Structure 1
Amino acid sequence: MNEPAFRIGTFSADVTVPLDHRCMGVLPTKTKFVKDPLEARGFVLLGAEKPIVVVAVDWCEIRNGAYDQWREAVASAAGTSRERVLVTSLHQHDAPVVDAGAAKLLRDVGLPNELYDEAFHAEVLQRVSAAVKDALSKAVPVTHVGTGQGKVEKLASNRRVVREDGRVTFGRGSRSGGDAFMSAAPEGQIDPFVKTISFWNEKTPIAALSVYSIHPMSTYGEGLISADFVGLARRLRQHDLPDVMQIYASGCSGDTTAGKYNDGSDAARHKMTQRLYQGMKQAWETSKTTPLTKMQFRSTPLRLEFYEHGNLEPAKLQATLNDAERRAEDRILAAMGLSSHQRVAADQPIDFPCVDFGAAQLLLFPGESFVGYQLMAQQMRADSFVVSMGYGECWTGYVPLNSSFGDGFHDSWLWVPPGSENRMQQAIQKVLLP
């Protein structure tokens, strides 16, 4: 009997942050209490030349040198190259932002471990690497790939809202549902579908990766550690299918939030969990499987520029970092900006990958890419099933569309300039339409 062409191993590891740890890089309230754990969940695919690894982490963002550290640690464990390791953060806000370059800059001005606990980070990398090695030893044949989608009702909405006087605002954040105007405004541009790619050994399902475009917070800023409604929905699906590894990743979610429907209450969180869960359940129940006869990896270097203007001019960032009179949060944000500027100046591009399963393509976008990019990718391959994960290399912060810049979008979490859409579009085309 022939050996199976492809194999898959699944893994998970606890990545719960310690107490008194910084959240989202710059939130003033540090972690106080663990409501539920944070996890890294993923799979290793074998048979497509070198192994391919996908890992989704219940953290806010993984940036710059830390992104390299994650990919290199996992690649070493899996016996592959770092380009073939797709690390995505879910982007819960009461969770870490890690950036090795920023951490060094902060150490140099007397703020060690202020952005994140570096010893804890190293321990997590060891934990995840061990889980990956264990997954390799338990890999099983994968013969079929499944694809399905489910419509999620009354959950996502766009940040962009037009005021009564015609002014455009991007002010609909995750908890804007308590504002009557924000709640009444239309949903705006979203992708209403959760998409699920699943992997099967003949008739036996092994793993399911579900992706949906939304900021994954019902509430944040109080130091309460939680995988939030996306993690809770994932756990409900895991309870439904205990033998099928459930992995969730955020789609291109820079401008999508629960802001139309969420007021930050516990009741709203429960509703949001159930709505996403029902969409994931529908995506699974409507999935169709096809034989897995190809598994190709493609990647192209994506060079986005650093938005060097105003307070992001390197000299101003350095001055803020050096100023002991400034708030720690301001100095951290300056260090993050400098770290990103250094990365771009060193001409280290973003790896923009695609895993092609024949019946489906899996993309990983940088940072807080706007939902328009995942819709763009779907339109480019309308003949196929395109799944777009966001929050890969996160130094970019928001990656708006040209139209968003035209509407006046600006934010302190924005490190790429107008015109980035053109480079993004070219990268999508290169990996989707080789």
Structure 2
Amino acid sequence: MNAKIFQLSFFILVGCVAAIGNRVADGADPGQFKIATFSADITIPLGHRCMGIIKTKVKQIDDPLEAHGLVLLGADSPIVLVALDWCEVRNGAYDQWRDALAAAAMTTRDHVLVSSLHQHDAPISDSGAQRYLDTVGLQGELYDVDFHARCIDDVVRAMKAAVAEAEPLTHIGLGQAAVEKVASSRRVIRADGTVGYDRGSGSGGVPAYAAADDGEIDPMLKSITFYHDTKALAVVSCYATHPMSHYGKGAVSADFVGIARRRRQLDTPPTKQIYLSGCSGDVTAGKYNDGAPAMRAVLADRVYQAMKQAEAATVRTPLDRVALKMGSLKLPFIDEPAFTRPSMMQVLENEQATVENRISAAMGLSSLDRVERGQPIDLPCLELGEARLLLMPGESFVHYQLMAQQMSPDRFVMTVGYGECWPGYIPSEQAFVDGFDHGWRWVARGSEAIIKEALQPLLAPSQVAP
């Protein structure tokens, strides 16, 4: 079934009632919605660290890092969506972003959806981790706290200015297109029959990795377009892959997804282009990318072409509903000896350990603090007419994106990754069975069952009258 036929099929189906807790979050009367779009520069300064633990700090800026977002007005409370060209935002820093944007938009934290795109030549922020590092003389090693605060201020200021000029929102358009020769699973079956998750972002130069099939991916780039009558005001695009061509040498970049977004923006100056990364903890460009610098432009063009095709396939329909459902997750902290509090404290306080290992320990301690105080992860699902935009935490595997689509087969479901990022990788149960293990994982086995249970009320199929 092609994308256009698929879209037409679900437009005839009725919607389900949305709620946040017991509070109805249905939209205002049709025609009463408004939208505001905004952007701000959030490029880190020279000398800053990328990806939290990359040894080489920033020496040059290849291209800027940006924040792009929108505010939806006319539902029970304003709803904010922001996409950051950063690797991850975690724990207290994530709360800091949401609280500041909520206050400025006169809404509540649960109405603010913040997602990182997860480029690796970009920063990680975690206020709890940095406080741990401060206690052992490693001030500013994870991230620049003052710069981080200025970025939030700049984004808030841009958002406020945009809200003052919000435009009517009357229609929504849904489209999708396949991205050719970008995504491939980390999971490969080796020559001896064993399973490995070691096909990284630049593995295409290894014959065995290039020859292995794509594996489990979602090949579709999905787009949601917001209209005032026939005027396109904003397009939100989402595709599930790690957004890295090459990285780690001290050059800041929004990488190939940022390049594709900017190129598309040049095509459509009046229409705000916002890009989000899907659930792609186990998806990279590793089959199709050998890590050569020239491949960045090649991968960017492939994503750009899919963005154009998705918008060309878009079906526009009146928007009669904007609402928000909210679930929550309490994922179990990793239950391995190296991640106990005493073990992580020992690494943090060990002056002979590498700075990068001490940073990892600090991030683990910050996340353990959160788990022990019982703070859940918000799991928001934005309802836009017949579309659903679901924000998942951390490096959720693509299995969860496909699961979400299967749970709501009569809907257009856009699943976004890299919301609250403290869990790091969130493997599927099958990946645990396969023996997936990585130091960038702070959750334990059993997470899939918890996530599945939380998703069901958010994405239950509509009850269609006979």
TM-score band w.r.t. shorter chain: over 0.9
Question: Aligned with 2:32: secondary structure?
Answer: coil
Q: Take 1:160 and 1:135, find their aligned partners in 2: how far apart are those partners? A: 43
Aligned-residue offset at 1:125: 0.7
Correspondence for 1:127:
154
Instruction: List per-residue Cα deviations over 1:344-371 (Å, max 9, x = no partner).
Output: 0000000000011121000000000000
Paired residue for 2:6?
none
Displaced runs of 4+ in structure 1, greater than 4 A?
none
Partner of 1:58: 85
SS at match of 2:78: strand
* Contact persistence 1:308–1:314 (CA under 8 A): no
What runs of 5+ residues in structure 2 fail to find an aligned partner?
1-28, 462-466
Secondary structure (helix, strand or coil) at the match of 1:266 reads coil
Q: Which residue is 1:166 aligned to?
A: 193
Specify the alignment match of 1:87 in structure 2. Answer: 114
Return the alpha-carbon distance in structure 2 between the equivalents of residues 295 and 429 of structure 1. 20
Instruction: Provide the residue aligned with 1:28 in structure 2.
Output: 55
Q: Which amino acid aligns with 2:313?
A: T
Query: Are 2:188 and 2:195, in contact at CA under 8 Å, matched by a contact in 1?
Result: yes
What does residue 317 of structure 1 align with?
344
Report if aligned partners of 1:214, 1:253 keep a CA contact under 8 Å in 2. yes
In structure 1, what is the equivalent of residue 393 of structure 2?
366
Cα contact 2:31–2:320 (8 A) shared by 1:
no
Residue correspondence of structure 1 range 26-425 to structure 2 within 5 A: 26-425=53-452
Total equivalences in the alignment: 433
> Separation in 1 of the partners of 2:386 and 2:172?
8
- Cα deviation, 1:376-412, whole Å, max 9, x if unaligned, reads 1111111110001100000000000000000000000
Q: CA deviation at 1:300?
A: 1.2
> Partners in 2 of 1:172 and 1:214 — Cα distance?
13
1 CA distance for matches of 2:449 and 2:272?
37
Give distance in 2, aligned partners of 1:388 and 1:209.
12
Shift of 1:325: 1.3
Partner-residue secondary structure (3-state), 2:94? helix
Q: Is the 8 A contact 2:43 2:66 kept in 1?
A: yes
8 Å CA contact 2:66–2:85 kept in 1: the answer is: yes
Deviation at 1:427, TM superposition (A): 1.5
- 1:124-174 CA-to-partner distances (Å, cap 9, x unmatched) read 010011011111101000001110001101110000000011010000000
1:12, 1:39 within 8 Å by CA — same for their partners in 2? yes
- Aligned identity (percent) is 54
TM-score, normalising length: structure 2? 0.92
2:39 counterpart of 1:15: no
Distance 2:379 2:153 in 1: 25
Distance 1:3 1:385 in 2: 20
| Other structure's SS at 2:77 match | strand
What is the identity, as a one-letter code, of the residue corresponding to 2:257? V
* Whole-Å separation in 1 of the counterparts to 2:96 and 2:457: 26
Distance between the aligned counterparts of 1:266 and 1:3, measured in 2?
Answer: 49
Shift of 1:3: 9.1
Q: Tell me the distance in 1 between the aligned counterparts of 2:337 and 2:242.
A: 28
Q: 1:301, CA displacement in angstroms?
A: 1.5
Residue matched to 1:429: 456
Q: What is the alpha-carbon distance in structure 2 between the residues aligned to residue 430 and residue 328 of structure 1?
A: 43
Counterpart amino acid of residue 388 in structure 1: T
Query: Alignment partner of 2:402: what SS?
Result: helix
Which ranges in structure 1 are unaligned for 5 or more consecutive residues? none
DSSP-derived class of the 1:261 partner: coil
CA contact (8 A) 2:170 2:319 kept: yes
Kindly indicate whether the alpha-carbon contact (under 8 Å) linking 1:290 and 1:359 is maintained by their aligned counterparts in 2: no
Q: In 2, Cα distance between the equivalents of 1:58 and 1:277?
A: 17
> 1:306-341 CA deviation, whole Å, 9 max, x = no partner?
113121111100110011111110100000000000
RMSD of aligned C-alpha atoms?
A: 1.0
Change (3 A) 1:3 1:427: closer
In 2, the alpha carbon distance for the partners of 1:430 and 1:27 equals 39
